[in-house]
Amino acid sequence: MESNISINIDRMWSTLMDMAKIGPGIAGGNNRQTLTHEDGEARQLFQKWCNNANLEMNVDELGSMFFLRKGIDNELPPVVIGSHLDTQPTGGKYDGVLGVLAGLEIIRTLNDLDIKTKRPIMIVNWTNEEGCRFAPALMASSGFVGTVDVNQILNTKDLDGKVFKEELAKIGWNGKEKVGSQKMHCYFELHIEQGPILEKENIDIGVVTHGQGLRWLEVELIGVEQHTGTTPMNVRKDAGLVMAKIITEVNNLANNNQPNLVASVGHIEVYPNSRNVIPGKTIFTIDFRSHIDKKLKDIEAKIRSIVSKISEDHKVKFTIKDVANYDPITFDKNCVNFIRNAAKKYNYTYKDIVSGAGHDACAVNTKIPAAMIMCPCVDGISHNEAEEIKKEWALTSTNVLMHAALEAAQ
């Protein structure tokens, strides 16, 4: 291990590009949403690669895929490397996928060099990390640790009314293994930063020490549909106007409570969505995040007050639904130190950072010691087909992941 063994970056990059051919987007990225035909095709390809690497597969009731490389002592729980293969509707080629295929490349490298570990090593592809088709995000990893009920997940519907368990069966990945039955010693996840800090500061590795807490509040406003040309301004009950005012106030609230807070609205529905009809109903989701628990709770109370006041001022009815609720987390110190040690081994530059996005590691960490590695991404762009990383960033970050996992696996 002192020789600083390295992965085969050309092989890994080729694997990344082959996976990107499944579910291509319209602008160079990917549209491989969870439980779609494309998701099923990606799973089949990943299974083929893992079979070729002599890994044993198990699939749980939520469709998460577990691939095991045996160790010297297989009574010991494995060291786990994981992430996800599903994407946003306009997703990139690396978000989530990098972490899964980095795990595969590490196994291939260990096989090439006939390196044996005391503990087994496992790769996992979690179902529905993104949460764009079926909400909430981190669905299968949250079910695995018991923070979300498995039956609730299986009966979740997408916006078209399609049921999770039926769509899972349709693509053939409804496994028989009970969710949460896999034992884990610790968990590592490699991910692109999805932000500009590492690239801007020319840092090789982000050592993730904390994860932001996240809240999704789905707001429904009920006004009155009326003709846009004949209804006087002073009698309108315009759900679209109320939504716009709420979004503006949420943005102001975030700007006025810096640092360590972000908030936005990315999901919007307007009814009847006609040019000459005043909106009678709107549904939108307020996303706000902080790694400081008190700030998160204070901001939630203020947002609820904003929704109430503006709605009442315009005589529009409202409801607020709690769609996702994840507390801030602190990653395991020992796992974080394994990552720092690996970066030092290669003389890579590294920096402690807070993850601004939710990841499966955040869910896993509530029950199992976990930590994350981040590599830079170009201009910090993610959840966008323009998402890009450099080949050398994939090399350095996967090498760090490999040595952190090897140290944990003894």
pTM confidence score: 0.83
Question: How many Å apart are CA 126 and CA 77, to the nearest integer?
Answer: 18
Cα dihedral 254, 258, 261, 266, rounded to 10, equals 30
2 within some domain: no
| Positions of the chain with pLDDT under 70 | 1-3
Q: The domain containing residue 132 runs over which residues?
A: 9-212+328-409
Interval 131-160: pLDDT, tens:
999 998 999 999 999 999 999 999 999 999
CA dist., res. 18 & res. 77, Å (int): 32
Within-domain flag for 4? no
130 and 266 co-located in one domain = no
Please identify, among 296, 326, 356, the residue that sits at the C-terminal boundary of a domain: 326
307 lies in some domain: yes
In a domain, 240, yes or no: yes
Residues 292 and 194 in one domain: no
Tell me, yes or no, whether 249 and 161 share the same domain: no
In DSSP terms, which residues pair with 81 in a beta bridge? 123, 188
How big, in percent rounded to 5, are the helix, strand and coil portions of the chain? 35, 25, 40
- Clarify whether residues 317 and 363 are in a common domain: no
Claim to verify: residue 74 and residue 18 sit in the same structural domain: yes
Structural domain total, the chain: 2
Q: In CATH, what number is assigned to the domain containing residue 136?
A: 3.40.630.10
Whether residue 178 sits in one domain with residue 119: yes
- pLDDT tens-digit series, residues 86-132: 999 999 999 999 999 999 999 999 999 999 999 999 999 999 999 99
- A 10 A CB-CB count for 238 gives 23
268: domain CATH number? 3.30.70.360
Same domain assignment for residues 314 and 334: no
98 within some domain:
yes
**pLDDT number for residue 126:** 98
Kindly state whether residues 186 and 219 are assigned to the same domain. Answer: no
State whether 173 and 34 are in the same domain.
Answer: yes
Q: What CA–CA distances, in Å, run from 92 to 23, 129, 287, 382, 406?
A: 11, 14, 21, 7, 29
From 281, 305, 326, give the residue that closes a domain: 326
Please report where in the chains the tokens 């960033």 appear, as a residue.
393
From residue 197, give the alpha-carbon distance in Å to each of 34, 171, 192, 211, 367: 29, 38, 11, 16, 29
Nearest to 97 by CA among 368, 375, 312, 410: 375
pLDDT at 248 (0 to 100): 98
187 shares a domain with 267: no
Residue finishing a domain among 326, 357, 380: 326
**H or E segment to which residue 101 belongs:** helix 97-112
Residues 166 and 281 in one domain: no
Q: For residue 334, how many C-alpha atoms fall within 13 Å in the half-sphere facing its CB? A: 10
Do 399 and 270 reside in the same domain of the chain? Answer: no
- Find out whether 46 and 131 touch, Cβ atoms under 8 Å: no
* Residue 299, domain member (yes or no): yes
Is 1 a domain residue?
A: no
Residues 6+ apart with CB under 8 A from 226: 236, 237, 277, 278, 280
Q: Is 3 a domain residue? A: no
Distance CA 342, CA 240 (A): 52
